Structure 1
């Protein structure tokens, strides 16, 4: 049953790791997200992926809207993380770049596509070494 939850350890909150993700991580755009990915340098301590969800205060002035979007993204990830298989743990940031609040029915398929792209990209990078 724990496979379907989003635990605190799965959320990226370390300032050092966040800074490293934004400076060294690779990124791609997939509407409504900009996704940043980096192999977790502290992966010996964790055996799972860590995610960060960010919604711009510049685009959404009301905290209610930002929280709604973040909740929808986290829920979509929580439902799909069991299908997301990548052996070393990753740091993943989902930056919401759309200008309007999209429904869950739009966010879920986009997040599934983003996770597939992360998995493909990561597998090709692992095979290159």
Structure 2
């Protein structure tokens, strides 16, 4: 049975990696998320994620933390079925940031899970497109 965990190794914490992600990464929007990602060929398929919520949009730390908690939960529940098998098959490393750009706090986990699946499909599509571009 696959454990749905979210360990320290899966969190993007390195300042150097975060800076390179935002300087050289690609991005797209799947409302209510803005996703910045960078895919590399690597010996082990794995993903590291950074989750953020704007302080400008949500002034109270309680609100920001609540949204981040829901985002982490949606990621934790959906990554094993949709994202990690794809990365393991391709032997790719994915660093990405999920920024919540929605205006309402009332984001519920089932809706966030659906959007997270859409994000993973979009990342897979972009990876396929990059591979196709490199092979041409």
The range that moved more, 32-41 or 50-59, is: 32-41
The range that moved more, 77-86 or 93-102, is: 77-86
Match 2:71 to one of 62, 70, 73: 73
- Structure 1 residues 40 and 9 mapped into 2: Cα distance closer, same or farther (>3 Å)? farther
Q: What are the superposed Cα offsets for residues 30-53 of structure 1, whole Å, 9 maximum, x if unpaired?
A: 100000110258x45x64100000
| Cα offset, 1:125, TM superposition | 0.7
- Partner residue of 1:100? 104
In the aligned structure 2, how far is the partner of 1:120 from the partner of 1:71? Answer: 27
| Cα offset, 1:2, TM superposition | 6.3
**Structure with more helix by fraction:** 2
Q: SS in structure 2 opposite 1:81?
A: helix
Q: How many pairs align?
A: 127
* Runs (5+) with no aligned partner, structure 1: none
Task: Map 1:1-129; keep pairs closer than 5 Å.
Answer: 3-40=3-40, 43=42, 47-83=45-81, 84=83, 85-86=86-87, 87=90, 88-101=92-105, 102-129=107-134
TM-score by length of 1: 0.90
Structural RMSD (CA): 1.7
TM-score by length of 2: 0.85
Q: What are the superposed Cα offsets for residues 61-113 of structure 1, whole Å, 9 maximum, x if unpaired?
A: 11111111111111111111112112201001100001111121221111110
**8 Å contact kept, 2:39–2:93:** yes
In the aligned structure 2, how far is the partner of 1:21 from the partner of 1:5? Answer: 24
* Runs (5+) with no aligned partner, structure 2: none
Give structure 1 regions of 4+ aligned residues with deviation exceeding 3 angstroms.
none
